[in-house]
Chains A and B, each alone.
Chain A
Amino acid sequence: MDNQRQRLYWRANTALIRNLLIVWALVSIVFSILLVEPLNTIRFFGIPFGFWMAQQGSIVTFVVLIFIYAVQMDKLDRKYDIKRK
């Protein structure tokens, strides 16, 4: 891979990482800790929403984020024709 393509590939990768980490921080640090008290006044089905985010929602989001990363990187690898085994 030449330098120019390598740079573009890396920039696309870091942009994806940044976006996913923003969501990561939002569901865990912001919703589940910093804003948990106001969010607890909202009911999510049978349970206060902030509490639910901290004990279920954030964990489920983490799993989804990792798979989004893996699938998106697959697409990026194909676009840049990265050789694999």
Chain B
Amino acid sequence: MSVELWTIIIVGISFLLYLYIGWQSRVKDSKGFFVADQGVPSIANGAATAADWMSAASFISMAGLISFLGYDGSIYLMGWTGGYVLLALLLAPYLRKFGKYTVPDFVGDRYYSNIARLVAVVAAIFISLTYVAGQMRGVGIVFSRFLQVDINTGVIIGMVIVGFFSVLGGMKGITWTQVAQYGILIFAYLIPAIAIAFLLTGNPIPQFAFTFSDIATKLNQVQVDLGFKEYTQAFVNKPMLDVLFITIALMVGTAGLPHVIVRFYTVPDVRSARFSAGWALLFIAILYTTAPALSMFARYNLINTLNNNTVQEVQKLDWVKKWENTKLLSFEDKNGDGKLQLTPKKETNEITIDPDIIVLATPEIAKLAPWVIALVAAGGLAAALSTASGLLLVISSSIAHDVYYRIIDPDASEQKRLFVGRLMVGLSIVLAGYFGVNPPGFVGQVVAFAFGLAASSFFPVIVLGIFDKRTNSTGAIAGMLTGLIFTIIYIVGVKFFGMPTWFFGVSPEGIGTLGMVINFIVTWVVSRLTAPPPAHIQALVEELRSPSVDLDVPVPKIH
């Protein structure tokens, strides 16, 4: 059977599975719709969080990026895992205790202010929108690469699938589909990685092969011979300070991303929230410790296969021809010696490799069966769809719950709330699909926004809201606004208006770290210069710190 046929079969089966789960988990009320009835077991929530978290970029692009960056690629590995420690220790248990539906819920109630709530709503929507556009595009790209359908058709198929289970089942439908999606994506990621580890080192476990084999030494030698720096050498592409700032911004940003935080509202109690964060990171770590191994093996293998061979020889390989057709791989014998050379200099380099190839072509390079290649396609789609659905729910709940129910119509009936929730999910899918079909040119560049803004807006005010009783509404609003505005000005200024990176050369990706520090300082200082929060808010904070089952202090409604 051909790869195309296998792909259609496996992707088709996975989609039927998602639809079936979506139908099975349809909901009747808004609690089911927004927080899955708070009945998700901690391991299942861990798997759902992992799928929610790992996007098309983690699945398809990350290993490739690392294989070109070497050590400097560690910013993604540590940045996108380390935040879970902050989340588990500083946020998740208390937010679960708080027990509401969204992040703006917490900010609005803890800071007894609808202005704070609105600032949080705007930040949550902006963060999720920039993120989701890339996911829908990712769905389209996977479809076009593996099934040769038009990218736009792929985006629309993705919209229909996500639309079905998220409109019917809300958070409940999304959660259980994400559990299935995690299973598919991790299986699809591990099989090729295990195969290439075994092929190169004789050890089938990628993490062990990475640590115990001599590939690192050999690759370093090969790189030096070709004029590159050693693969394991630090700070080749980015200086130490920038690596530090980017890593911290990604970590803190992870802990502040609303679609990750809300997952911890869906478990039954505080204890489950703590364990759930551990399961989530364990499931994520399975992919994140495999990725650097895959990066190193694939780079070593690519150089060995391609470098110093003739074009004719190389083109005899099936996968080379296939990926040459997609323009992800290209050759040009610039010095006319009949052989291909990989070099660090653009003028002499004769082999151009798109980073995405590392994951996409590994099964073919390792000569695996066609069904494995099809599985990788299904895995990429699972990664993109699961992240998209989590983000769409945040966008919809920000409007349907935080703005409509909490501010505009607090007396809305249960049915009306559920209806508005479904309507908003539907609308955000259409919006996300629109951006997927017509990607704004800046999408690739604004991913830095999502993390920088999450780090500089939510993280400090949530942490202080729990750990510092004295933090008041004026302080939190001032802190969020200064953190956000500073970070936005730096990112927009550098990316679009040619502003120099005046803060010690820190790139826009890392400036959220400084924005976070500014937010912390402003919130703390302004809070101490103004009146302390009212007694019932201090009682609420006291209550959040005790993990018993329910809130004893009712949260007052703000009108």
Contact = CB atoms under 8 A, between A and B. Distances in A.
Interface string A9-26: 110011001001100100
B545 A10 contact: yes
Given A6-B545, A52-B211, A62-B81, A36 B234 contact: yes
A40 B233 contact: yes
A82 B550 CA distance: 12
Q: Which of A29, A33, A52 has the most chain B CB atoms closer than 10 A to its own CB?
A: A33
Given A20-B89, A54-B74, A63-B281, A82 B546 contact: yes
B176 interface: no
Interface residues of B, number: 54
B112 interface: no
B467 A6 contact: no
A47 B288 contact: no
Contact of A56 (B251, B289, B542): B289
Contacts, number: 149
Nearest to B207: A56
Given A44-B211, A51-B232, A32 B217 contact: no
A62 B86 CA distance: 10
B366 interface: no
Main secondary structure of the interface of B (DSSP, over half): helix
B85 A85 contact: no
A55 B292 contact: yes
A77 B545 contact: no
B77 interface: yes
Contacts of B27: none
B13 to A, nearest CB: 31
Contacts of A55: 66, 71, 73-74, 77, 210, 289, 292
Interface residues on A, range: 35 or more
Interface in A20-74: 20-21, 24, 28-29, 32-34, 36-37, 40, 44-48, 50-52, 54-56, 58-60, 62-63, 65-67, 69-70, 73-74
A67 B282 CA distance: 10
Contacts of A9: 545-546
B548 interface: yes
Contacts of B413: none
Nearest to B244: A33
B232 A45 contact: no
Contact of A66 (B71, B88, B207, B271): B88
A62 B233 CA distance: 23
B84 interface: yes
Given A48-B232, A50-B234, A62-B84, A28 B78 contact: yes
A84 interface: yes
B438 interface: no
Contacts of A37: 234-235
B203 to A, nearest CB: 11
A36 B211 contact: no
A83 interface: yes
A56 B77 CA distance: 9
A66 B546 contact: no
A28 B243 CA distance: 11
Contacts of A48: 216, 232
A58 B82 contact: yes
B347 interface: no
A52 B216 CA distance: 10
Contacts of A10: 545
B289 A59 contact: yes
Contacts of B84: 62, 66
24 contacts: A1-B546, A1-B548, A17-B90, A33-B240, A33-B244, A36-B71, A44-B211, A46-B211, A46-B212, A46-B214, A46-B216, A47-B217, A50-B234, A51-B232, A54-B234, A58-B77, A60-B285, A63-B285, A66-B89, A66-B281, A70-B274, A73-B93, A84-B271, A85-B549
Given A1-B548, A33-B74, 5 more contacts: A40-B233, A45-B211, A46-B215, A51-B71, A56-B292
